Copies of this chain bind each other. A is one copy, B any other.
Amino acid sequence: MTQRHVINASVSPKGSLETLSQREVQQLSEAGSGSTYTLFRQCALAILNTGAHVDNAKTILEAYKDFEIRIHQQDRGVRLELLNAPADAFVDGEMIASTREMLFSALRDIVYTENELDALSIDLSTSQGISDYVFHLLRNARTLRPGVEPKIVVCWGGHSINTEEYKYTKKVGHELGLRSLDICTGCGPGVMKGPMKGATIAHAKQRIHGGRYLGLTEPGIIAAEAPNPIVNELVILPDIEKRLEAFVRVGHGIIIFPGGAGTAEEFLYLLGILMHPDNEGLPFPVVLTGPKHAAPYLEQLDAFVSATLGEAAKKHYEIIIDDPAEVARKMTQGLKEVKQFRRERNDAFHFNWLLKIDERFQRPFDPTHENMANLKLHRDQPAHELAANLRRAFSGIVAGNVKDNGIRLIEEHGPYQIRGDAAILQPLDLLLKAFVAQHRMKLPGGAAYVPCYQVVA
């Protein structure tokens, strides 16, 4: 990264439908000052940096300080002018088509979020309002396609997994693709890329031309997890909670591959929702899987869930070790049930309206030391509420590990103190220590891991 290759270029959308009003162009053009511009510049830089494997948003932003992006309205539509852009996004001076497409997707979502969506009379103080917000954003991005049967499989897991695990995700993606299923991920590298790559080859074999590789991201994470170029539908949600809601409302089933604290957080988010009494009986296939050597990891996660949320949690997911075809078959079977269920209830195939998402999961958690210390980590509450609190604990740990404000807080006040029942804290401690031992707690720069928390029994 010491020797940056940069390039200046000018790109127009191809086959895209994006048009902007003069007002919107003006708003985006206030280079340097406007927050809309800053947001777009940051996302654009991440998209252009698509090949690079950098864990840290800051690094990228600093490496391309002089990167600029200008928007012009022209005879044939919008044109973007790029100055000092990362050269990796270009082949012999021409921008890779997928990168170009993603730039205009980012433009689309940011213009919509900043203009139309914020102006909509949506009441964001209600749970229903937040879901409506997510719906409108996805609809504007043309992600919601009526008339299509349920086949979007969400793949969650780490962005920096080992080679064997990465190859395994490709194999699972291949088996999903052979069965005509589409892939949705967080759109970065690792688990977010492997299944898409495998599915691309499988879709080619099955002569499927409109295979979807849906990437859902948000401005806070996009720089650290730059969209991989297989993604052919990119949507930028405004924050992490809306991104998670988008996953569970557009995805018809979820596969969880090995990952770190972030993956555990997502798993707890999902369990918390599925265990909500209102979602009793609502089919939602979830499979935890990995190659043979990842078995201990998956078993540990399973044990942790049993120990904390109880055996009842186990009916919501299945563990399959080292059998990609079986994973794909289970998912196919699960999607049939989803289809049947939605048909009977007249729920949309393209948006899971019936899924109840508690407000607890829709609101951001602020990982202050106080909030972390006050988390209710005991059995004296319904399992889905405990799941919500455990999710917050992991959310805080992720922040303390890799996020700017989290790191600063830890530097200032020392590690978080996590309190609660031993019956909860002990399994938690075990799991976190296992993550460390398995090198799943990745840090910027690759330094040895110093825990940002203390479990106080």
A residues with CB within 8 A of B? 12-19, 21-23, 72-78, 91-92, 96-98, 101, 115-116, 119-121, 128, 132, 135-136, 139, 142, 144-148, 178-179, 197, 200-201, 204-209, 229-230, 232, 329, 332, 339, 342-343, 346-351, 353
Q: Which residues in B have their C-beta under 8 angstroms from that of A19?
A: 139, 144-146, 348, 350-351
Query: With a CB–CB cut-off of 8 A, which chain B residues contact A14?
Result: 147, 207
Q: Assess whether B115 is in contact with A145, with CB atoms less than 8 Å apart.
A: no
Q: Which of chain B's residues have a CB closer than 8 A to the CB of A230? A: 201, 204-205
Cβ 8 A contact of A98, one of B12, B18, B206: B206
Query: Is B232 a contact partner of A204 (Cβ separation < 8 A)?
Result: yes
Question: Is B197 within 8 A of A349, CB to CB?
Answer: no
Given known contacts A74-B348, A197-B201, A97 and B207 CB-to-CB distance under 8 angstroms: yes
The answer to whether A348 and B77 have CB atoms under 8 Å apart is yes
Q: Are B146 and A348 in contact (CB under 8 A)?
A: no
Main secondary structure of the interface of A (DSSP, over half): loop
Cα–Cα, bound, A22→B132 (Å): 8
Contact at B17–A142, with CB atoms within 8 Å? Answer: yes
A77: chain B residues at CB < 8 Å are 146-147, 348-350
B349 touches A205 (CB 8 A): no
Please determine whether B201 and A97 come into contact, CB atoms closer than 8 angstroms. no
- Which of the residues B91, B119, B207, B348 comes within 8 Å of A179, measured between beta carbons? B91
Give the CA-CA distance A343 to B77 in the complex, in Å: 11
Min CB distance A180 to B, Å, is 9
What residue in chain B is nearest A139 (Cβ atoms)?
A: B19
- Cβ A207 vs Cβ B98 within 8 A: yes
Residues on B with C-beta less than 8 A from A136 are 21, 116
CB A75 to nearest CB in B, in angstroms, measures: 5
14 more A-B residue pairs beyond the given contacts A77-B348, A98-B205, with a C-beta to C-beta distance below 8 A: A12-B147, A13-B147, A19-B144, A19-B146, A19-B350, A73-B348, A74-B348, A77-B147, A96-B178, A97-B206, A97-B208, A116-B136, A119-B120, A197-B201
Q: Identify A76's interface contact among B76, B206, B332, B349, CB under 8 A.
A: B349
- CB nearest neighbor in B for A350: B19
Nearest CB of chain B from residue A358's CB, rounded to whole Å: 18
Q: A72-B346, A77-B350, A96-B206 are known contacts. Are A121 and B119 too (CB-CB below 8 A)?
A: yes
Chain B residues closer than 8 Å to A75, beta-carbon distance: 339, 342-343, 346-349
Q: Which residues of B contact A147 (CB under 8 A)?
A: 12-15, 76-77
Residues of chain B lying within 8 A (CB to CB) of residue A119: 119-121
Q: Could you list 26 A-B pairs, sorted by A, with CB under 8 Å?
A: A16-B146, A17-B142, A17-B146, A19-B146, A21-B132, A22-B353, A73-B347, A73-B348, A75-B342, A75-B347, A76-B146, A76-B147, A76-B148, A77-B348, A78-B146, A91-B178, A92-B329, A97-B205, A97-B207, A98-B205, A116-B116, A197-B201, A200-B204, A201-B201, A204-B230, A209-B209
